[in-house]
Structure 1
Amino acid sequence: MLRRLSNHVLALLLPLPAALALCVLLSGCRLREAGQEDLVIPELVRTHLYVAPSGSDSNPGTRDEPFRTLTRAAQAATPGTTVHVAPGTYFGGIRTNTHGTAEARIVFQSTERWGARLVPPLDSRRPAAWDNRANYLDIVGFEIDGNQYQSGMKWLSGIYNAASHNGVHHNRIHHIGNDVPCETKGGAGIGIDSYYKGNDAEVVGNQVHDIGPPECRTMHGIYISTRASVRDNIIYRASGSGIHLWHDATNVSIRGNTVVASGSGIVVGGGDYYHGKGPNDNTHTINNIVVDNGQGVVEQGETGPNVSYRNNLVYQNGGSDWKLPAGREHVGTISAGPLFVDYTRGGAEPDFRLQPGSPAIGKGMAAGPPPETAGARPRRPTDIGAVPYTPPELASPMSTATE
Structure 2
Amino acid sequence: MLRHQSIIVRTWLIALFGALVLAVLLSGCRLREPGQEDLVIPELVRTHLYVAPSGSDSNPGTRDEPFRTLTRAAQAVTPGTTVHVAPGTYFGGVRTATHGTAEARIVFESTERGGARLVPPLDSRQPAAWDNRANYLDIVGFEVDGGQYQSGMKWLSGIYNGGSHNGIHHNHIHHIGNDVPCEAKGGAGIGIDSYYKGNDAEVAGNHVHDIGPPECRYMHGIYVSTTASVRDNIIYRASGAGIHLWHDASHVTIRGNTVAACGTGIVVGGGDFYHSKGPNDHTHTMNNIVYDNGHGILEQGAIGANISYRNNLVFQNAGGDWKLAAGRQHSGTVSAQPLFADYGRTVAAPDFRLQPGSPAIGKGIPADAKDGIAMRPRRETDIGAVPYTESEPAGVPSPGVH
Give the TM-score, by structure 2 length. Answer: 0.89
Provide the C-alpha distance between the structure 2 equivalents of 1:284 and 1:129, rounded to a whole number of angstroms: 30
Counterpart for residue 386 of structure 1: 385
Following superposition of structure 1 onto structure 2, how do residues 189-268 of structure 1 map, counting pairs within 5 Å? Answer: 189-268=189-268
CA distance 1:369–1:62, shift in 2 (3 Å): closer
Question: Residue 74 of structure 1: SS of its match in structure 2?
Answer: helix
1:378 offset after TM fit, Å?
A: 7.5
Provide the C-alpha distance between the structure 1 equivalents of 2:135 and 2:265, rounded to a whole number of angstroms: 29
1:29 offset after TM fit, Å?
A: 1.4
Letter in 2 for 1:346: T
Provide the C-alpha distance between the structure 2 equivalents of 1:194 and 1:265, rounded to a whole number of angstroms: 22
Provide the C-alpha distance between the structure 2 equivalents of 1:242 and 1:42, rounded to a whole number of angstroms: 43
- Identity across the alignment (%): 79
Counterpart for residue 340 of structure 2: 340
Letter in 2 for 1:304: G
Following superposition of structure 1 onto structure 2, how do residues 32-51 of structure 1 map, counting pairs within 5 Å? Answer: 40-51=40-51
Counterpart for residue 17 of structure 1: none
Counterpart for residue 396 of structure 1: 393
Provide the C-alpha distance between the structure 1 equivalents of 2:328 and 2:29, rounded to a whole number of angstroms: 51
Provide the C-alpha distance between the structure 1 equivalents of 2:142 and 2:128, rounded to a whole number of angstroms: 14
Q: Does 1:142 align with 2:142?
A: yes
Provide the C-alpha distance between the structure 1 equivalents of 2:70 and 2:300, rounded to a whole number of angstroms: 39
Provide the C-alpha distance between the structure 1 equivalents of 2:33 and 2:289, rounded to a whole number of angstroms: 54
Following superposition of structure 1 onto structure 2, how do residues 109-120 of structure 1 map, counting pairs within 5 Å? Answer: 109-120=109-120
Letter in 2 for 1:114: G
Letter in 2 for 1:131: D
Structure index of larger Rg? 2
Letter in 1 for 2:154: K
Q: Does 1:295 align with 2:288?
A: no
**What CA deviation, in whole Å up to 9, does each residue of 1:258-302 have, x standing for no partner?**
000000000000001000000000000000000000000001101
User: Is residue 32–residue 39 contact of structure 1 (8 Å, CA) maintained in 2?
Assistant: no
Question: Residue 223 of structure 2: SS of its match in structure 1?
Answer: strand
User: Is residue 341–residue 352 contact of structure 2 (8 Å, CA) maintained in 1?
Assistant: yes
Provide the C-alpha distance between the structure 1 equivalents of 2:377 and 2:134, rounded to a whole number of angstroms: 41
Provide the C-alpha distance between the structure 2 equivalents of 1:236 and 1:401, rounded to a whole number of angstroms: 14
Provide the C-alpha distance between the structure 2 equivalents of 1:184 and 1:344, rounded to a whole number of angstroms: 29
Provide the C-alpha distance between the structure 1 equivalents of 2:214 and 2:94, rounded to a whole number of angstroms: 27
Letter in 1 for 2:157: S
Provide the C-alpha distance between the structure 2 equivalents of 1:330 and 1:290, rounded to a whole number of angstroms: 14
1:225 offset after TM fit, Å?
A: 0.1
Counterpart for residue 164 of structure 1: 164
User: Is residue 349–residue 396 contact of structure 2 (8 Å, CA) maintained in 1?
Assistant: no
Counterpart for residue 173 of structure 1: 173
Give the TM-score, by structure 1 length. Answer: 0.89
Counterpart for residue 31 of structure 2: 30
CA distance 1:378–1:73, shift in 2 (3 Å): closer
Count residues in correspondence: 368
Provide the C-alpha distance between the structure 1 equivalents of 2:121 and 2:395, rounded to a whole number of angstroms: 31
Provide the C-alpha distance between the structure 2 equivalents of 1:31 and 1:262, rounded to a whole number of angstroms: 53
CA distance 1:369–1:253, shift in 2 (3 Å): closer
Gaps of 5+ in 2: 1-27, 371-375
User: Is residue 79–residue 105 contact of structure 2 (8 Å, CA) maintained in 1?
Assistant: yes
Provide the C-alpha distance between the structure 1 equivalents of 2:40 and 2:353, rounded to a whole number of angstroms: 51
Letter in 1 for 2:382: D
Following superposition of structure 1 onto structure 2, how do residues 313-328 of structure 1 map, counting pairs within 5 Å? Answer: 313-328=313-328
**What CA deviation, in whole Å up to 9, does each residue of 1:126-156 have, x standing for no partner?**
0000000000000000000001100000000
User: Is residue 168–residue 202 contact of structure 2 (8 Å, CA) maintained in 1?
Assistant: yes
Counterpart for residue 183 of structure 1: 183
Following superposition of structure 1 onto structure 2, how do residues 73-88 of structure 1 map, counting pairs within 5 Å? Answer: 73-88=73-88
Point out 4+ residue stretches in structure 1 off by more than 2 angstroms. 30-34, 38-42
Counterpart for residue 304 of structure 1: 304
Q: Does 1:129 align with 2:129?
A: yes
Provide the C-alpha distance between the structure 1 equivalents of 2:204 and 2:138, rounded to a whole number of angstroms: 11
1:30 offset after TM fit, Å?
A: 3.3
Question: Residue 73 of structure 1: SS of its match in structure 2?
Answer: helix
Letter in 2 for 1:302: A
1:400 offset after TM fit, Å?
A: 2.6
1:368 offset after TM fit, Å?
A: 1.1
Provide the C-alpha distance between the structure 1 equivalents of 2:366 and 2:354, rounded to a whole number of angstroms: 18
Gaps of 5+ in 1: 1-26, 371-376
Provide the C-alpha distance between the structure 2 equivalents of 1:378 and 1:173, rounded to a whole number of angstroms: 29
Provide the C-alpha distance between the structure 1 equivalents of 2:273 and 2:389, rounded to a whole number of angstroms: 43
CA distance 1:309–1:88, shift in 2 (3 Å): same
**What CA deviation, in whole Å up to 9, does each residue of 1:31-51 have, x standing for no partner?**
5989x9x86533111100000
User: Is residue 167–residue 202 contact of structure 2 (8 Å, CA) maintained in 1?
Assistant: yes
1:380 offset after TM fit, Å?
A: 1.5
Question: Residue 72 of structure 2: SS of its match in structure 1?
Answer: helix
